[in-house]
Amino acid sequence: MSQLFTPMQLGKLSLSNRIIIAPMCQYSAEQGKATPWHRIHLGHLSLSGAGLLIIEATAVEAAGRITPQDLGLWDDETEQALAETINDVKRYATMPLGIQLGHAGRKASCDVPWRGGGFLTPQQGGWQTSAPSALPYSENDGAPLALTKARIAEIKQAFIDSAIRADRLGFELVEIHAAHGYLLHQFLSPLSNQRDDEYGGSLENRMRLVLEIYDEVRRVFPRDKAVGVRISASDWVEGGWDEAQSIALSKALEAAGCDYIHVSSGGLSPQQQISVGPNYQVPFAAGIKAAMTTMPVIAVGLITEAQQAESILTSGQADAIALARAMLYDPRWPWHAAAELVKVQAPPQYWRCEPHEVKGLFNL
Ligand SMILES: Cc1cc2nc3c(=O)[nH]c(=O)nc-3n(C[C@H](O)[C@H](O)[C@H](O)COP(=O)(O)O)c2cc1C
């Protein structure tokens, strides 16, 4: 039996296997609105045989976009545009669909990656950014404004409103984006959060906004659907957010009833020292999983081979794996993994009945 192809639950949401398509920004929206690109891109990924498709970081307010081309879900127009795409995709999809909701904070107002991804001034089509503290990501960026309590409350409300819209669109899962140096991660890390109110300082205070947003989203998103959180388990910078703090946050989320934790890393600081290689983030997932009682843990990061994915699960380091680049490169990855892993132990008397269309199904 393959672990990768064993069904699982994220809360009340059932997945037919443990391959998750990780959220991937497409920078192909117009004023936050989905375009035909999304129909094509999500359409083919939704037929790939994975257990779940989580669509890209979707901004809860316009100022929360990484680039002017980011997808958004902040008003009726953005909801309507996404509805047209998602209705078509869901008509044929063979898997549940989730959406990642996020806010870029001080990493907003940038150009698309294929034009270098640099900071955009208002004259270049960018906008004033905001963050927990007035500390830019890099010295080339405009300084963000430190968020007032009133703005924090507005952003919290924006997550709630987007989650309500996501439910209306038929999404079965919301993933709160607290990774990769974006706004919620900026609140978690002591490197970017130097506030002296109840949202800064102690670990408890830095975790407050993520936990509040989780609670609010959970409150409005139906119980039979899943709500999870994606984190960066480490800033990879001395004195930054790290595995021990990630475990503390994961425990708090588990206690709050969170349906899963999705364990990535990095993105908060240009000073990060990462050595990237196969499974490079899996030890973080394993460390968090060891501290959990029930909450499923998703590992991600340079997982490219079927057997590699299977081993992560059978060794108990994670409950599911997510793939980003491997799915873009080979959108039939789950089929190929199934052909490799899901071998049936049939008796030799019956080997001649192996169907032509699934050659390799039997473990001859
Ligand atoms: C094109 C592209 C877009 C991405 N956009 C997002 C995103 O919207 N949200 C997010 O949390 N991570 C995003 N990521 C990171 C991936 O979800 C994933 O964590 C990372 O690529 C490592 O996994 P991989 O080695 O399987 O690609 C993106 C990655 C790629 C390649």
d(CA 211, CA 44): 34
Cβ of 227 below 6 Å from ligand 1:
no
Mean pLDDT of 161-187: 98
Q: Considering the chain, what is the average pLDDT of its residues?
A: 96
- Let me know: does 171 contact 225? Beta carbons within 8 Å: yes
Residues 6+ apart with CB under 8 A from 337: 4, 5, 19, 306, 309
In short, whether 235's Cβ falls inside 6 Å of ligand 1 is: no
Task: Report the C-alpha gap between 357 and 354 in whole angstroms.
Answer: 9
Contacts of 297 (CB under 8 A, 6+ apart): 250, 260, 261, 263, 285, 288, 289, 318, 319, 320
Quick one: average pLDDT of 144-172?
A: 98
Q: Which residues contact residue 215 at a Cβ distance below 8 angstroms, ignoring those fewer than 6 apart?
A: 256
- With pLDDT > 70 as the criterion, what percentage of the chain qualifies? 97
Residue located nearest, by CA, to atom 21 of ligand 1: 324
Residues with active-site annotation: 182
The mean pLDDT of 258-266, rounded to a whole number, is 98
pLDDT at 364 over 70: no
Question: How many alpha carbons lie under 13 Å from residue 32 in its C-beta half-sphere?
Answer: 21
Model confidence pLDDT, tens digit, residues 302-322: 999 999 999 999 999 999 999
Among protein residues, the one whose CA lies closest to atom 29 of ligand 1: 24
Q: Which residues of 113-130 are buried (b: 16+ CB within 10 A; e: fewer)?
A: eeeeeebbeeeeebeebb
Q: Per residue in 116-142, pLDDT tens?
A: 999 999 999 999 999 999 999 999 999
When pLDDT is cut at 50, 70 and 90, the band that residue 327 belongs to is very high
300 lines ligand 1 (CB under 6 A): yes
Mutate to test the pocket of ligand 1, among 24, 60, 261 (most ligand atoms within 8 A of CB): 24
Give nearest CA residue, ligand 1 atom 15: 24
Q: According to the model, what pLDDT value does residue 362 have?
A: 61
Query: Encoding tokens for residue 157?
Result: 């409300």
Query: Can you tell me the mean pLDDT for 38-50?
Result: 95
* Ligand 1 within 6 A of CB of 252: no
pLDDT at 357 over 90: no
Residues of the chain with pLDDT > 90: what percent? Answer: 91
